Chain A
Amino acid sequence: MLRFLGQRAAMGLLTIFVTTIAVTLLIHLVPGDPVEIMYAQSQGTTPEQLEAMRSSLGLDQPIPVQYVHFLGRLLQGDLGVTIRGQQPVAQLLMQRLPNTLALAALAMVIATVIGMPLGFLAAYKRGTLIDGVLMVTAIAGISIPHFWLGLLLLFWLAVDLGILPVAGSGPLNIVLPALTLGLSNAAIVARMTRSAMIDVMSQDFIRTAHAKGLPKGKVLRRHVLRAGLVPVVTVMGLQFAFMMGGAIVVENIFAWNGIGRLALEAIFQRDYPVIQGFILVFATTVVVVMLALDAVYALLDPRIRRS
């Protein structure tokens, strides 16, 4: 199992390494000169100012040299400074990251708590009306965009009922964005759980369990659930990555101070160091969460745990 996790960790490091290359190239992948685009809206910029910006970003050097510099600073935890305000990017991101993590984690809990039991129920009641209603709801849940669901919840719970704050940064403020993110992902989790459980229910070992005369509940709890969870957990990692992506939209709707909101602002302002930092932090978070879920997966599946 340690070897399995070692392999996964190595893959994760490789992913982050590739991301650093992509991030360096990012600026050059945008057509046109990045610095000129940055200043396109401001009148009367002198060529000297452009040149100064170029050299302060290191853009006047060959790309490999830029990369080495970037990597060198990165290893010291330095992601550069923002173009507007000259604040250290790393510090800015680290301030906001906990907010996003809290949001994604709570949303994940909501998605799991709602999605898994419903998916299990749908699998158990496969082909019945309950299954049909649940799955149609799930498809609706997947299809509704975050911003629309978020607005609906906002009007209903905050404006009409007034039980939750509209926006801000108090402890209750996390509920609406987390609900928005969690509900649409609950639909995905429900569908995944359903298909994983149905798959397990048709396995030979479930027939064996029935042939032993075990009560139905026992077959479901001991045999179906334990075996069916393994594939569900594997996809949870991907799920979390989607959740982080969804957070960018949701944070902006609810003015939640996470890194998603920071990133969007930076994109509008072409604040390249922030965008680069955001991508790196985002990728690292996803890699770490995936690794954690791989560990859970290894614990659930004895074929890996005991290898």
Chain B
Amino acid sequence: MALVDISDLTIGFGAEATAPPVVDGVDLSIGKGEIVALVGESGSGKSMTALSIVGLLPERGRVRAGQILFGGKDLLTFGEAALRSVRGARIGMIFQEPMTSLNPVLTIGEQLVEALIVHEKLSKAESRNRAIAMLERTGIDNAERRLRQYPHEFSGGMRQRVMIAMMMALKPALLIADEPTTALDVTIQAQILDLLREMVRDLDTSLLLITHDMGVVAEMADRVVVMRDGKVVERGDCEAIFAAPQADYTRRLLAAVPTLDDPTRETTTTSFGPEVLRLEDVSRSFGGDGFFSRQAPLKAADGVTLTVREGETLALVGESGSGKSTLGRLAMRLEKPDGGRVVVAGEDITRLSGRGLRRVRRAIQMIFQDPYASLDPRFSIGRTIAEPMIIEGGASRSEVRERVRALLERAGLSASMAGRMPHELSGGQRQRVAIARALAVSPRIIVADEPTSALDVSVQAKILDLMIELQEAEALAYLFITHDLAVVRRIAHRVAVMRKGRIVELGAAADVLERPVHPYTRSLIAAAPVPDPARRGERHHWQPEAEPQSPDMAGEWCAVGDEHWILA
């Protein structure tokens, strides 16, 4: 008998008559010790399905029909007290955001032991020992000392380890992990996935893994259940689904996943036009300059030199904190460099300000990561796109209106959308609006900071296609900032790998991705999950001790190939 057997589960928000269900007749079973991946894009109902198992649906969320059998008993008939004895003890759950999932004002130790005391009636000392053992098991050193620390003293990956230790300490029969690695860097993701797999295997725990990432599915799952719009569209063994997807939707989902095996974009160094952006030995530090500050300043950009030519995409790749976003802001002169020069379209903008800067900014525009936050919610779409033109001046109302219509169509939206408000649009549509706005003043180069990271894979693919099409039509240059190597492969001509404020490797996309030389680049590429279950376990792990440890990462640029350099 399966450990969990969900049948005909239907969940809705508010009154049945008015609101369609968000989960609609879902059947799902999880065997003992099995890893089941629940896959879908945003709004597919995968998280609601998982939350209903532990009775933690958000306010107003109601199970309308169905049953959730856990060890033969229907959890939906349980009262609050009975459910509480299951939560934590028999079913653990870890969440996406390790930065906010732990209480900032309680120590890690307090948070680890409280469930042990409640469920197993252990004494303080016993539960403390168990907590230490669990922390050590999840790979946290100095566990005893770290028990007394607070969440802000742990990195994102470490916090997720703490979450795993906390939830596995009671040896639950089922662990639900809702996008456990989505917020983490790829090298950390690889470690956390390994840890999760190892822990559930050792303790014979079943794992319900909720994810949108087919790479993670291929790495982890025994079985896969694909959801869309609240319904299960396909289920089966992991290998079978990747090898021969049956449902149309699954096929499209898999096709949209960029893989590291796709060919990189054509690069012939001669095909690009003149240089449109040059960063020369640019540096920027944060902190360390306050009157009371005793900390060493953080070097977000440390002597970076880059060029981008007309019609070219330079992808800036790095993990969180590498300084890649700061570099994008420096190129835009949203941030003033401490040293070095920023040259846009042949003009040195390092010292410009006010009107001069505004004039040059026409040549360089930006697209941001979060399409929800980067559009003014009170402006109509048309107004948003028209704004740069209005600021620039010189065009009549009817000219501006005509141009807005043209831009909307160029961005793959209908011209009639000009009157809509941002909240009426989907994430992908909003990102198209952001692109249309960036194009409004006919820039030579666009700085795109993680423009597809907040989007579902199928939408992401379309936005990338649009960007490539626009580039080819207008010889646009892109400085494309991302952490996702698969996206890099799709859009980049050249790649710059950034780490701790410095470029460690720079070269043509094909060279850097297929013949990486710098150990850090190698580790990044090795850590990326491959969306192919047959190649599971081929990943090689980034070992921090294998890192060449020169304290300030000082080094010299060495050419390792044609137009391919590393910092060594």
A230-B105, A302-B150 known; A204 vs B114 contact (CB < 8 Å): no
Is the CB–CB distance between B114 and A218 below 8 Å? yes
List chain B residues, Cβ under 8 A from A205. Answer: 100-104
| CB within 8 Å of A: which B80-130 residues | 80, 84-89, 92-93, 95, 97, 100-107, 110, 114-115, 118-119
CA distance A301 to B95 in the complex (A): 24
List chain B residues, Cβ under 8 A from A230. Answer: 105
Is the CB–CB distance between B106 and A226 below 8 Å? yes
Is the CB–CB distance between B105 and A212 below 8 Å? no
Is the CB–CB distance between B118 and A214 below 8 Å? yes
- In the complex, whether B146 has a CB less than 8 A from a CB of chain A is no
List chain B residues, Cβ under 8 A from A169. Answer: none
Is the CB–CB distance between A223 and B103 below 8 Å? yes
CB distance from A70 to the nearest CB of B (A): 28
CB distance from A102 to the nearest CB of B (A): 32
CB distance from A12 to the nearest CB of B (A): 14
* One of B89, B103, B153 near A213 (C-beta < 8 A): B89
List chain A residues, Cβ under 8 A from B167. Answer: 211-212
List chain B residues, Cβ under 8 A from A302. Answer: 104-105, 107, 150, 152
Is the CB–CB distance between A208 and B101 below 8 Å? yes
Is the CB–CB distance between A214 and B114 below 8 Å? yes
Which residue of chain A has the shortest Cβ distance to B169 in the bound complex? A212
* A interface residue count range (under 10 / 10 to 19 / 20 to 34 / 35 or more): 20 to 34
Is the CB–CB distance between B114 and A211 below 8 Å? no
List chain B residues, Cβ under 8 A from A6. Answer: 292
Which residue of chain B has the shortest Cβ distance to A203 in the bound complex? B100
List chain B residues, Cβ under 8 A from A207. Answer: 56, 95, 101
* One of B56, B118, B150 near A303 (C-beta < 8 A): B150
- In the complex, whether B300 has a CB less than 8 A from a CB of chain A is no
Which residue of chain B has the shortest Cβ distance to A3 in the bound complex? B292
List chain B residues, Cβ under 8 A from A300. Answer: 105
CB distance from A269 to the nearest CB of B (A): 44
CA distance A171 to B558 in the complex (A): 84
* One of B97, B100, B166, B294 near A212 (C-beta < 8 A): B166
- In the complex, whether B54 has a CB less than 8 A from a CB of chain A is yes
Is the CB–CB distance between B100 and A204 below 8 Å? yes
| CB within 8 Å of A: which B479-494 residues | none
* 0/1 string, A81-107, CB within 8 A of B gives 1: 000000000000000000000000000
CB distance from A247 to the nearest CB of B (A): 33
CA distance A215 to B85 in the complex (A): 9
- In the complex, whether B332 has a CB less than 8 A from a CB of chain A is no
CA distance A211 to B53 in the complex (A): 11
- In the complex, whether A7 has a CB less than 8 A from a CB of chain B is yes
A208-B95, A211-B87 known; A222 vs B104 contact (CB < 8 Å): no
Is the CB–CB distance between A213 and B84 below 8 Å? yes
| CB within 8 Å of A: which B166-195 residues | 166-167
* 0/1 string, A208-233, CB within 8 A of B gives 1: 11111111101000110011001000
CA distance A222 to B80 in the complex (A): 19
CA distance A180 to B274 in the complex (A): 75
* One of A212, A216, A306 near B115 (C-beta < 8 A): A212
- In the complex, whether B163 has a CB less than 8 A from a CB of chain A is yes
A204-B100, A207-B56, A215-B118 known; A301 vs B163 contact (CB < 8 Å): no
A212-B88, A214-B88, A214-B118 known; A306 vs B101 contact (CB < 8 Å): no
CA distance A78 to B167 in the complex (A): 65
CA distance A199 to B533 in the complex (A): 42
List chain A residues, Cβ under 8 A from B110. Answer: 222
Which residue of chain A has the shortest Cβ distance to B87 in the bound complex? A213
* 0/1 string, A181-208, CB within 8 A of B gives 1: 0000000000000000000000111011
List chain A residues, Cβ under 8 A from B56. Answer: 207, 210-211
CA distance A7 to B290 in the complex (A): 11
8 contacts between A and B (CB under 8 A): A204-B100, A211-B95, A212-B88, A212-B166, A213-B118, A214-B115, A214-B118, A216-B80
Q: List 7 additional A-B contacts (Cβ < 8 Å) besides A211-B92, A222-B106, A227-B104.
A: A205-B104, A211-B93, A211-B167, A212-B114, A218-B114, A301-B104, A303-B104
